[in-house]
Amino acid sequence: MSKSVPMTAEGYQRLQDELKHLTRVERPKVVQDIAEARSHGDLSENAEYDAAKDRQGFIEGRIQELNSKIALAQVIDPKTIKSDKIVFGAKVTLFDIDTEKEVTYQIVGEDEADIKIGKISINSPVGKTLIGHTVDEEVRIAVPSGVKVYEVTNIEYS
């Protein structure tokens, strides 16, 4: 049995939108590009044909991947979570003991993660380490530059 894929409703909608775009826009366009490249003659020396076939392979692979993730999706609404511990969907504010600066991360699914906007994957080293901790706990996280020590200052579900 396959493992469920946790994600927020926003992440689920983004996957559905991408799937719709690929099936309704990109797939027909690449089929048209292949037909046009075929009309140019000898396929063995036709770079346009090769590029279009490669693009088609990528699109079909991504469609399969999205269908699988959507089928296995476990959509979690952080607003419904009542916990004093860090779990999926939590917005966590951490105080960096070394730099004395605060950072805030939301723990989300793999496809939603974007460090630039403060969203980290539940499967990332930081995400995995934060799970289960509570406010005022000290957390040690192994990062490429060594070990960072944070204090959890706030946990919210919104």
Ordered by where they begin, the domains of the chain are: 5-75 (1.10.287.180), 78-156 (3.10.50.30)
| Pairing between β-strand 146-156 and β-strand 5-7 as defined by DSSP bridges | unpaired
Tell the burial category of 18 from Cβ atoms under 10 Å away from its Cβ (0-12, 13-18, 19+): middle
Tell the burial category of 158 from Cβ atoms under 10 Å away from its Cβ (0-12, 13-18, 19+): exposed
- Does 155 score more than 90 pLDDT? yes
CA–CA gap between residue 21 and residue 11 (Å, rounded): 15
Residues 131-144: tens digit of each pLDDT: 999 999 999 998 88
- Does 2 score more than 70 pLDDT? no
The one-letter amino acid at 107: I
pLDDT of residue 90: 95
- Does 22 score more than 60 pLDDT? yes
The conformation of residue 13, written as its DSSP 8-state character, comes to H
Tell the burial category of 19 from Cβ atoms under 10 Å away from its Cβ (0-12, 13-18, 19+): middle
Q: Rounded to two decimals, what is the model's pTM? A: 0.79
Q: b vs e for 126-152, b when ≥16 Cβ sit within 10 Å of the residue's Cβ?
A: bbebbeebeeeeebebeeeeeebebbb
Tell me the percentage of the chain whose pLDDT exceeds 70. 97
- Sole residue written with tokens 């044909």: 49
Residue 1: pLDDT band (50, 70, 90) is very low
